[in-house]
């Protein structure tokens, strides 16, 4: 995607672009491929929910502040363990609470139970397969104390997923993610370039 | 795939080939298009649903510069190919991804474009990757002329004559696309936004529609230029020659990782084809209609093989195998095939397995499927995939079960010594200049530390080693906490346990690995013919040769 990073306008990306950019930027930031794949899935989930996927991702890719856990690693561990131990009861300080939501949603899917995430003054209910129901100011930047718990009493309906399949990103965020992405690319070698096209010109 | 309950022929299960046999690159690299190929599915649907087609805009000047709109009008929705024709100097014509200008550029628009839409597309589509399209577009593509043939056809038609038939058949197309982007690329609509539409639910239907309408555009363009040059005496292309034309395509490594990145989808493609073969093999008689259809498919395959040429040594050897095989099949069918056997099609198949090289076996498969549309066409509906549904790792799985999965599905890699130079000779990476997949030589080029995780066999073997000292009842979640570097391999193994055709069962970083084998498999599922490698990682192919045109389908049309 071509754009002018000097202006901090909002750019509209497809989910496919968000996934590719997130995978590569996460890997470029030095995370494992497994984490990169998980980050891409999570970023697309956030974008579909209309949440700030790019801001949350950039927060995750920063080294966590002392005493705060990485939302990506924490989310992966909790989601992996969901089928073992059921809905979690956890409370910890997380560097980017927003990025924990897709993993809490997966826990809800795996256990078939609603999960309530509380981060500062915002509460989010995640029902299996549903769009997140958010109550509160909605600011979920971190680090913040985050609590996860089963939500068996609250049966208020969760909103339907929006029909849009896009996500917004500020130009400055896009530039930063692109910068991270470029850290994992490789200059094309002469050998590879030679084999990547036809032998000879294409005016035949 | 969840179509098992609808299976009209459960006994076919006994005739299925194993993934260990099917998922080897040497066999995948002999794939042929079948009636389940995606372009065939598109044509069948449009014919069955009575789609209509028109060309509401044709603003192309005498030099061949301008734009046109082709509409495909289905029972519910309309799709429009917006084509831009350019005046391209020969010195900038390149099929490679580094090109910045083309003879023609295209977008498939969702609906009928307004003038404002056309203005927006005119400002972006000719720029391709450097432009930006919107969710109203389903694909973005470009094409270059096959210069020698294109000019020849215009010259001949302008004089009121037909082009040289042998020259036309030899090349097979007037233009070749050099990229067809869909699925959210460069701002286009995501696959998830359109996958619920019945007409687009099968894989790559928007891309196939775009290429099919592009084919009509290429013929309209040569006839237009011939009229501009020859005036009233100009001829139109004869229907026979016109039908033999397809759309070419130049493609390279960029499409190879797709099959590795989409294991569930790959499984569903392969499983549908394998189930189709198994159903035919399970039949207990050969009907006269089926026999005639098979003979016709065989004759067409032989004609195609005669016209199919390649300068690449590997492909030339395969073509020789193919021609010999088709002749052997024809002779065996005439004289040796026991049609009174309990399962006569299986009898023929088993003969082929024992007698023919891989190229001939896979050609036999395609010919056997051809006359059995009623039995197998429904499998086309099982070839898409809800990949998100299979993304989550089952952390409760025990190490013992994971080990058993590896033993069952990854035996092909567990014995490979990946420290050997030849077994890890290559590495896949993303290029800095075009952000495209590339293949490097690990021991000769820098960059291996930024390797893409396409070394699926090596990862599985490493996981196998890591499991050796782990207790059988340890949950996978605990394993991954301690060893997160195995996450990709665990996910692939869990997917493969449920989707046995999900994994290419070969070392994708070996010195002897041929990327063109991956390309041929994928392109055969598209419906590509005349596979013609230009290197071990770059090919030309043809799409829609001998297929109907929009005007043929408008009134009912031909068998697709």
CB-nearest partner of B534 from A13, A199, A203: A199
* Residue B497 predicted with pLDDT over 90: yes
A5 assigned to some structural domain: no
Sort out which chain B residues have CB atoms less than 8 A from A84's CB and list them: 395-396, 475, 477
**Is there a contact between A17 and B395 if contact means CB atoms under 8 Å apart?**
no
Pick the residue of B136, B431, B515 with the most A CBs within 10 A to test the interface with A by mutation: B431
DSSP alpha helix (H) spans, A120-186 = 171-182
A204 assigned to some structural domain: no
CA B347, chain centre distance (Å) = 30
Find the length of chain B: 560
Token look-up 């068996």 returns: A152
CA B451, chain centre distance (Å) = 26
Residue A154 confidence (pLDDT): 67
CB-nearest partner of A80 from B253, B480, B488: B480
Residue A16: φ, ψ to 5°: -60, -40
Task: Identify the three-state secondary structure at position B15.
Answer: helix
Domain ranges of chain B: 38-245+546-554, 263-384, 387-498
Over range A70-88, report the average pLDDT: 88
CB A95 within 8 A of CB A59: yes
CB B257 within 8 A of CB B452: yes
**Is there a contact between B435 and A186 if contact means CB atoms under 8 Å apart?**
no
Distance CA A187, CA B430 (A): 8
Q: How many CB pairs under 8 A join A and B?
A: 171
- The nearest CA of chain A is from the CA of B396 a distance in Å of 5
Query: What is the DSSP-derived secondary structure letter of residue B91?
Result: G
pLDDT-derived band of residue B9, with 50, 70 and 90 as boundaries? confident
Distance CA B328, CA A160 (A): 60
Residues pairing with B57 in the sheet: B69
pLDDT digits (tens, 9 = 90+) for B507-559: 999 999 999 999 999 999 999 998 988 888 888 899 999 999 999 998 555 44
Residue A1 confidence (pLDDT): 45
A18 assigned to some structural domain: yes
pLDDT digits (tens, 9 = 90+) for B89-134: 877 788 777 788 899 999 999 999 999 999 999 999 999 999 999 9
A17 assigned to some structural domain: yes
Distance CA A97, CA A112 (A): 22
* Residue A195 predicted with pLDDT over 70: no
pLDDT digits (tens, 9 = 90+) for A118-174: 998 889 999 998 999 988 776 778 789 999 998 877 677 788 888 878 999 999 999
Token look-up 């499927």 returns: B369
In angstroms and rounded to an integer, the radius of gyration of the C-alpha atoms of chain B is 24
Distance CA A139, CA B483 (A): 34
Segments forming the whole domain that contains residue A20: 10-156+163-185
- The H-or-E segment that residue B85 falls in is strand B78-85
Buried b (16+ CB within 10 A) or exposed e, A66-92: eebbbbbbbbbbbbbbbbeeebbebee
- The nearest CA of chain B is from the CA of A167 a distance in Å of 11
* Residue A67 predicted with pLDDT over 90: no
Sort out which chain A residues have CB atoms less than 8 A from B90's CB and list them: 203
**Is there a contact between A202 and B95 if contact means CB atoms under 8 Å apart?**
yes
All residues at 6 or more sequence positions from B49 whose CB lies less than 8 Å from its CB, including other chains: B74, B75, B199
Distance CA B442, CA B132 (A): 36
* Residues B202, B206, B207, B212, CA torsion sign: positive
Cβ-in-10-Å burial (0-12, 13-18, 19+) of B277 comes to buried
CB B200 within 8 A of CB B212: no
State chain B's mean pLDDT as an integer: 94
CB A58 within 8 A of CB A128: no
CB-nearest partner of B439 from A166, A192, A204: A192
| Overall number of domains in chain A | 1
Residue B540: φ, ψ to 5°: -115, 145
* Residue A3 predicted with pLDDT over 50: no
* Residue A88 predicted with pLDDT over 90: no
Our CA dihedral for B360, B366, B371, B375, rounded to 10 degrees, sits at: 130
Q: What is the biggest distance separating any 2 CA atoms in chain A, rounded to whole angstroms?
A: 71
Query: What is the DSSP-derived secondary structure letter of residue B14?
Result: G
Window from B40-49, B252-261, B359-368, B487-496 with minimum mean pLDDT:
B252-261
Over range B325-346, report the average pLDDT: 95
- Binning chain A into helix, strand and coil, the percentages to the nearest 5 are 45, 20, 40
**Is there a contact between B184 and A79 if contact means CB atoms under 8 Å apart?**
no
A1 assigned to some structural domain: no
**Is there a contact between A187 and B447 if contact means CB atoms under 8 Å apart?**
yes
Over range B173-193, report the average pLDDT: 93
pLDDT-derived band of residue B265, with 50, 70 and 90 as boundaries? very high
Q: CA separation (Å) from A34 to A66, B392, B396, B488? A: 24, 12, 18, 5
Query: What is the DSSP-derived secondary structure letter of residue B93?
Result: -
Tokens of B124: 């972006």
Note the ipTM here: 0.92
Distance CA B90, CA B147 (A): 9
Pick the residue of A4, A11, A16 with the most B CBs within 10 A to test the interface with B by mutation: A16
Residue B1 confidence (pLDDT): 47
Token look-up 């006839």 returns: B223
B344-355 vs B358-369: helix axis angle to the nearest 10? 160
Residue A194 confidence (pLDDT): 64
Residue A2 confidence (pLDDT): 44
Distance CA A17, CA B234 (A): 47
pLDDT digits (tens, 9 = 90+) for B403-414: 999 999 999 999
A179 assigned to some structural domain: yes
Our CA dihedral for B235, B238, B243, B244, rounded to 10 degrees, sits at: -90
A4 assigned to some structural domain: no
Closest CA to A177 of A8, A50, A20, A44: A20
Tokens of B217: 């555009």
- Binning chain B into helix, strand and coil, the percentages to the nearest 5 are 50, 15, 35
All residues at 6 or more sequence positions from B30 whose CB lies less than 8 Å from its CB, including other chains: B318, B358, B359, B361, B362, B363, B520
**Is there a contact between A14 and B190 if contact means CB atoms under 8 Å apart?**
yes
pLDDT digits (tens, 9 = 90+) for B210-240: 999 999 999 999 999 999 999 999 999 999 9
Distance CA B432, CA A58 (A): 22
A33-48 vs A71-85: helix axis angle to the nearest 10? 90
Task: Identify the three-state secondary structure at position B531.
Answer: strand
Distance CA B295, CA B364 (A): 11
CB A121 within 8 A of CB A140: no
CB-nearest partner of B392 from A79, A185, A188: A79
Looking at chain B, the whole-number percentage of residues with pLDDT higher than 70 is 98
Tokens of B57: 């805009």
Tokens of A180: 């991270």
A92 assigned to some structural domain: yes
**Is there a contact between B394 and A83 if contact means CB atoms under 8 Å apart?**
yes
Sort out which chain A residues have CB atoms less than 8 A from B399's CB and list them: none
Distance CA B359, CA B32 (A): 9
Pick the residue of A11, A13, A14 with the most B CBs within 10 A to test the interface with B by mutation: A14
- Residue B174: CB atoms within 10 Å: 28
Q: What is the pTM of this model?
A: 0.94
- Residue A186: CB atoms within 10 Å: 23
Residue A203 confidence (pLDDT): 60
Q: CA separation (Å) from B449 to A187, B397, B427? A: 13, 31, 9
Which residue in chain B is spatially nearest to A165 when comparing CA positions? B193
Q: What is the biggest distance separating any 2 CA atoms in chain B, rounded to whole angstroms?
A: 84
Cβ-in-10-Å burial (0-12, 13-18, 19+) of A172 comes to middle
Residue A196 confidence (pLDDT): 59
Distance CA A70, CA B435 (A): 28
Distance CA A150, CA A126 (A): 10
Tokens of B296: 């016709």
CA B259, chain centre distance (Å) = 10
**Is there a contact between A83 and B395 if contact means CB atoms under 8 Å apart?**
yes
């Amino acid at each position: 995607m071509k754009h002018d990073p000097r202006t901090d306008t909002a750019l509209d990306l497809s989910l496919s672009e968000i996934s590719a950019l997130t995978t590569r930027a996460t890997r470029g930031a030095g995370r494992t491929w497994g984490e990169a794949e998980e980050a891409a899935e999570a970023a697309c989930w956030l974008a579909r929910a209309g949440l700030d996927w790019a801001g949350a991702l950039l927060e995750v890719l920063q080294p966590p502040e002392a005493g705060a856990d990485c939302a990506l690693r924490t989310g992966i561990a909790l989601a992996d363990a969901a089928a073992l131990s059921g809905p979690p009861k956890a409370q910890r300080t997380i560097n980017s609470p927003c990025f924990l939501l897709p993993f809490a949603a997966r826990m809800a899917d795996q256990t078939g139970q609603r999960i309530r995430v509380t981060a500062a003054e915002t509460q989010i209910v995640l029902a299996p397969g549903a769009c997140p129901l958010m109550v509160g100011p909605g600011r979920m930047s971190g680090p913040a104390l985050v609590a996860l718990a089963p939500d068996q009493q609250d049966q208020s309906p969760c909103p339907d997923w929006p029909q849009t399949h896009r996500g917004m990103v500020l130009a400055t965020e896009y530039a930063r993610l692109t910068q991270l992405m470029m850290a994992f690319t490789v200059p094309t070698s002469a050998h590879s370039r030679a084999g990547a096209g036809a032998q000879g010109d294409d005016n035949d | 795939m969840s179509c098992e309950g609808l299976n009209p022929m459960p006994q076919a299960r006994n005739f299925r080939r194993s993934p260990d046999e099917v998922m080897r690159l040497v066999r995948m690299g002999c794939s042929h298009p079948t009636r389940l190929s995606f372009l065939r599915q598109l044509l069948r649907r449009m014919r069955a649903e009575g789609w209509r087609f028109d060309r509401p805009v044709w603003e192309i000047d005498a030099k061949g510069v301008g734009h046109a709109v082709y509409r495909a009008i289905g029972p519910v929705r309309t799709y429009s190919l917006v084509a831009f024709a350019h005046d391209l100097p020969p010195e900038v014509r390149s099929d490679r991804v580094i090109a910045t200008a083309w003879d023609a550029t295209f977008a498939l628009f969702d609906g009928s474009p307004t003038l404002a839409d056309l203005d927006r597309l005119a400002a972006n589509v000719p720029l391709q990757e450097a432009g930006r399209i919107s969710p109203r577009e389903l694909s973005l593509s470009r094409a270059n002329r096959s210069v020698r043939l294109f000019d020849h056809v215009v010259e001949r038609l302008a004089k009121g004559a037909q082009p040289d038939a042998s020259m036309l058949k030899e090349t097979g197309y007037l233009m070749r696309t050099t990229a067809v982007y869909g699925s959210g690329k460069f701002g286009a609509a995501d696959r998830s936004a359109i996958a619920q539409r019945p007409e687009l639910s099968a894989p790559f239907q928007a891309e196939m529609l775009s290429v099919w309408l592009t084919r009509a555009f290429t013929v309209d363009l040569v006839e237009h230029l011939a009229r501009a040059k020859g005036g009233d005496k100009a001829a139109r292309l004869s229907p026979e020659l016109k039908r033999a034309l397809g759309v070419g395509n130049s493609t390279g490594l960029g499409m190879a990782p797709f099959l590795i990145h989409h294991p569930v989808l790959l499984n569903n493609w392969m499983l549908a084809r394998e189930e189709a073969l198994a159903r035919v093999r399970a039949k207990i008689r050969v009907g006269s209609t089926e026999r005639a259809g098979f003979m016709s498919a065989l004759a067409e395959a032989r004609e195609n093989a005669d016209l199919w040429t390649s300068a690449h040594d590997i492909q030339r050897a395969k073509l020789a195998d193919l021609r010999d095989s088709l002749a052997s099949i024809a002779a065996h069918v005439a004289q040796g095939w026991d049609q009174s056997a309990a399962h006569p099609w299986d009898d023929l198949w088993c003969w082929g397995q024992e007698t023919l090289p891989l190229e001939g076996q896979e050609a036999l498969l395609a010919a056997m499927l051809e006359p059995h549309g009623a039995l197998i066409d429904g499998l086309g509906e099982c070839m898409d995939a809800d990949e998100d549904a299979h993304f989550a790792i089952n952390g409760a799985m025990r190490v013992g079960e994971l080990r058993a999965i590896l033993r069952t599905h990854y035996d092909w890699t567990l014995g490979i010594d990946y420290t050997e130079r030849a077994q890890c000779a290559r590495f896949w990476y993303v290029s800095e200049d075009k952000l495209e997949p590339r293949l490097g030589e690990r021991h000769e080029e820098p960059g291996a530390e930024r390797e893409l995780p396409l070394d699926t066999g090596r990862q599985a073997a490493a996981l196998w080693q890591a499991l050796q000292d782990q207790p059988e009842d340890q949950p996978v979640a605990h394993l991954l906490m301690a060893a997160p570097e195995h996450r990709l391999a665990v996910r692939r193994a869990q997917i493969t346990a449920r989707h046995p055709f999900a994994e290419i069962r070969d070392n994708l970083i070996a010195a002897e690995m041929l990327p063109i084998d991956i390309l041929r498999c994928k392109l055969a599922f598209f419906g590509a013919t005349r596979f013609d490698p230009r290197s071990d990682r770059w090919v030309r192919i043809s799409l829609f040769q001998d297929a109907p045109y929009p005007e043929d389908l408008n009134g009912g049309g031909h068998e697709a």
